[in-house]
Amino acid sequence: MNKVLKYVSILVIIFVLIIMIILLLGKDLQQVSVEKFELNGLENISGESVTIVGDLYINNPSKISVPIKQINYDVILEKNNITLSSGEIPSFILEKNIINKIPFSHNMKFKPSLDLLLQLLTQEEVYIVVSGKVYVDVAGIETYDVDFLQKVDFKEYLQKQIK
């Protein structure tokens, strides 16, 4: 019984030390931030859908790599606040001490939004807003989310791709 108590005590001490090290190294974890969203282009353009291709730049200034549980986002037509599409980027590891470039590709269907088609035909500028959350999960010890929001002139990118 005495040996079991000794082993349990050692395991508890090791576990507490590991948690303390993670918390000390990860003190900058709350500083994880989305630096920018970049729309690189549109692909597979048809009357029914378009694929949005871009990069999300996420800064991780901490001394440890950080697991990202997922990134959820909505593509919103700014003028009438209509959600055109929603998407998700699955889990990955955010490298330490750098701004991480996270590529994404999202197929957006036009059918739900006659408003978008009308605006594309009649308006000089058609802004979409990409709004989302990055879900950070540090070994189940600390979880939090980071919001991001980026406004893009969708018509400008569409015109560039058509030319």
CATH code of the domain in which 37 resides: 2.60.40.10
pLDDT score for 114: 67
CA distances from 139 to 62, 104, 124 (A): 15, 25, 48
CA distances from 163 to 79, 155, 156 (A): 26, 12, 11
User: Are 130 and 152 in contact, with CB atoms under 8 Å apart?
Assistant: yes
Residue 55's beta-bridge partner residues?
A: 38, 103
Helix, strand, or coil here: 70?
strand
Q: Backbone phi, then psi, for 62, in 5-degree steps? A: -75, 170
**pLDDT exceeds cutoff 70 at 162:** no
Region of residue 162 (left: phi > 0; alpha: psi -120 to 50; beta: else): alpha
Question: What would the pLDDT profile of 52-77 be if each residue is shown by its tens digit?
Answer: 888 999 999 887 888 899 999 998 88
Task: Determine the structural domain holding residue 135 and report its residue range.
Answer: 2-162
User: Are 107 and 49 in contact, with CB atoms under 8 Å apart?
Assistant: yes
Round to the nearest angstrom and report the end-to-end CA distance of the chain: 79
Residue 142's beta-bridge partner residues?
A: 138
Give the mean model confidence (pLDDT) for residues 137-160. 78
Question: What would the pLDDT profile of 70-125 be if each residue is shown by its tens digit?
Answer: 999 998 888 888 888 899 999 999 998 899 999 989 888 765 456 667 777 777 88
pLDDT score for 58: 93
Domain count, the chain: 1
pLDDT band at residue 140 using 50, 70 and 90 as cut-offs: low
Give the mean model confidence (pLDDT) for residues 3-28. 74
